[in-house]
Copies of this chain bind each other. A is one copy, B any other.
Amino acid sequence: MADLLGVAVLGAGHMGADHIRRLDRVVSGARVAAVADPDADRAAEAAAGLDGVTVLKDPVAALDAPGVEAVLIASPGPDHEEALLAAFRRGLPVLCEKPMVPDSTGALRVLEAEARLGRRLAQIGFMRRYDTEYRRLKALLDGGGLGRPLMLHCTHRNVSSPARFTSAMLVDSSVSHEIDAARWLLGQELTAVTVLRPTPSGGAPEGLLDPQFVLFETDGGALVDVEVFVNCGFGYQVRCEAVCERGSARIGDEHTMVVTTAGSAREEVAQDYLVRFADAYDREVQTWVDATRRGEVTGPSVWDGYAASVVAEAGVRALETGARTTVEPAPRPDLYAGVSR
């Protein structure tokens, strides 16, 4: 079909390779037109077996490869700013993995650049907004039947953390998902953050402050607490309970097949976010492809990416100082008026 959307994928690591597979074999209406990675072998391997793909080292050059109509950025976070700005200059629609830009100063430059364009081009990869359970919870809260949300209790557990994971990354990488999810679910901005640090688990690497307990206050008077525990050893668990004036709702409880044997009834717990959120990633990319082919930009915006950066930075300061830390974002450009989505 002449109208398959040609996508340049920047970055051919774990996440980039997964997106290439998704665009090629799962998603309808798109094809991989270019793959860029500084590691040329890795790029070639990720593109193996695909027809009509330009493989290169330079991500910006990839934007100009034949047939490229849109960009999926899955390179390391520090490379995102340059790629986003290059895409903006070319008017190319973008799906950018999180973090949009790791530091809030760079994030602000991206925000200002898109605001100057006067129209949205980028969707940020907060895939939880495409998870079925999160969407049900969002719909329930928006419906208003439970009254105003008062608190969100969140759990974010990983089996183990990657090499070189730092105490700050529990806040600015792991919890960044909860930062976006809370802003989206509540339709409120996070205004202050406090981080509590129990004695680290013996299962955590030496020196890593794991687990942590992170508390956010919102401009709507709600409270968001997050247990983040990235070396829990027993499963990948993402849960959220919204407590409202007239009821509560909980998502993320394990539930698959129930197996009863040898004195206990067991339900398997997912071990990996690519399992837990596989459908959310598929739906995220399909939705992005569909909207792009219609000429629309939807989903989490650059403002959401910027806000996540600013809140995460405040969280890291709160972790370091032990003190309640307020969040001081730049003003929100008119382009992003209204809570996203």
Is A160 an interface residue, CB under 8 A from the partner? Answer: no
Inter-subunit contact B255/A255 (CB<8 Å): yes
Contact A151 to B213, CB < 8 A, known contacts A198-B222, A233-B246, A268-B264: yes
Q: Give, as a whole number of angstroms, the nearest-CB distance from A21 to chain B.
A: 10
The distance from the CB of A259 to the nearest CB of chain B, in whole angstroms, is 5
A147-B203, A198-B222, A245-B233 are contacts. A263–B269 as well, Cβ < 8 Å? Answer: yes
Identify the stretch in A26-34, A35-43, A163-171 within 8 Å (CB) of chain B at 4 or more residues: A26-34
A150 contacts B by Cβ under 8 Å:
yes
Bound Cα distance A263, B136 (Å): 15
Q: Is A146 an interface residue (CB 8 A)?
A: yes
Return the contact of A213 from the options B223, B253, B261 (Cβ within 8 A): B223
Q: With the chains together, A198 CA to B188 CA distance in Å?
A: 13
Contact string against B for A residues 247-272, beta-carbon threshold 8 Å, 1 for contact and 0 otherwise: 11111011111111111111111010
Asked if A234 contacts B215 (CB within 8 A), the reply is no
Chain A, 178-226, CB within 8 A of any chain B CB? 196, 198-199, 201-203, 211, 213, 215, 217, 220-223, 225
Instruction: Decide: B267 and A265 in contact? CB cutoff 8 A.
Output: yes
Identical chains bound together, number: 4
CB of B246 within 8 A of CB of A251, answer no
Interface centre among A29, A232, A254, A271 (most CB of B within 10 A): A232
CA distance A217 to B322 in the complex (A): 14
Which residues from B are CB-within-8-Å of A24? Answer: 28
- Kindly list chain B residues whose C-beta atoms are within 8 Å of the C-beta of A247: 233-234, 259-262
Which residues of chain B come closer than 8 Å to A3, judged between CB atoms? 51
Knowing A198-B222, A245-B201, A290-B25 are in contact, say whether A227-B153 is a contact too (CB < 8 A): yes
10 contacts between A and B (CB under 8 A): A147-B203, A201-B245, A202-B245, A213-B225, A234-B261, A234-B263, A235-B263, A235-B264, A251-B258, A264-B268
Measuring CB to CB, which residues of chain A are less than 8 angstroms from any residue of chain B?
A: 1-4, 24-29, 31, 51-52, 132-133, 136-137, 140, 145-148, 150-151, 153, 196, 198-199, 201-203, 211, 213, 215, 217, 220-223, 225, 227, 229, 232-235, 237, 243, 245-251, 253-269, 271, 279, 286, 290
